[in-house]
Amino acid sequence: MATDLISFSLFAFSSILIVVNPLGALLVYNAITEFMDTKDKRQVAAYGCRIATAVLIFFTVFGSFLLSLFGITISAFTVAGGVLLFGIGMEMVYGRTSRAKVTATEKYESIDAEDISSMPLAFPMISGPGTITTVIVLSQDAPVFVRPIEFGIILGSVILTIIITYAILISSDHITKRVGQREYRVVNRLMGIMLMAIAVQFIINGISQAFPMLIN
């Protein structure tokens, strides 16, 4: 039992952390706060992370209900989520900014927006479609009233990921001085490969749920 919980914890945390991709969020954060002082930049990071936390917790808790409301099966959403994450992973491997996170237009328009912390930092950069898909798929296997420990692990993974993301954002000046573009690209590609592997696992799980006879 303890081994299963450790494995689930590692899988849940790594899945959420990789798809959030704090380093990717850092690049957008630097771009949209380029002309701000340190105090304002910290406020943007704090507010953006709070919004992202609220969004992800909402979909972790109510995501399954929303699927049922629209008549979407768990297996269908799991496969669809795996396909989406695989595409994001491919774009990370090839060094392209995923359109599932932020588009060039959104990035440009946000520079003059009154509240850039909510768009595009909180959504879609941190709590984008890929991250929302991940927490919903994970919560399918851990209903709050059936497997409360696993459900708590998912919520804890969300909060821990946001804390790490926030720490990276407020350390942006230090990180950009220490980490070069070449090192960033290497890390981003490695995370993309891991995300693709997680996406394949999601697809396998979804197909297994939809066609249980295939695993017998």
pLDDT digits (tens, 9 = 90+) for 153-186: 999 999 999 999 999 999 887 877 777 667 767 7
Task: Give the model confidence (pLDDT) of 98-155 as tens digits.
Answer: 544 544 445 444 444 336 788 768 876 788 777 888 898 888 776 665 678 888 999 9
For 95: left if phi > 0, alpha if psi spans -120 to 50, otherwise beta; the answer is: left
- Rounded-to-integer distance, Cα 198 and Cα 200, Å: 5
Q: What's the confidence (pLDDT) of residue 156?
A: 95
Q: What's the confidence (pLDDT) of residue 53?
A: 95
- Rounded-to-integer distance, Cα 164 and Cα 132, Å: 18
Q: What is the mean pLDDT of the chain?
A: 79
- Rounded-to-integer distance, Cα 191 and Cα 187, Å: 6
Residue 14 has pLDDT above 80, yes or no: yes
Does 142 or 72 have the greater pLDDT score? Answer: 72
Q: What's the confidence (pLDDT) of residue 94?
A: 81
Percent of the chain past pLDDT 90, that is, above it, reads 20
Q: What's the confidence (pLDDT) of residue 181?
A: 65
- The Cβ of residue 88 has, within 10 Å, a number of other Cβ atoms equal to 27
Domains and CATH numbers, the chain: 8-215 (1.20.1250)
Q: Please tell me the least confidently modeled range out of 32-46, 78-92, 98-112, 171-185.
A: 98-112
Does 56 or 35 have the greater pLDDT score? Answer: 56
Q: What's the confidence (pLDDT) of residue 144?
A: 61
pTM, two decimals, is 0.72
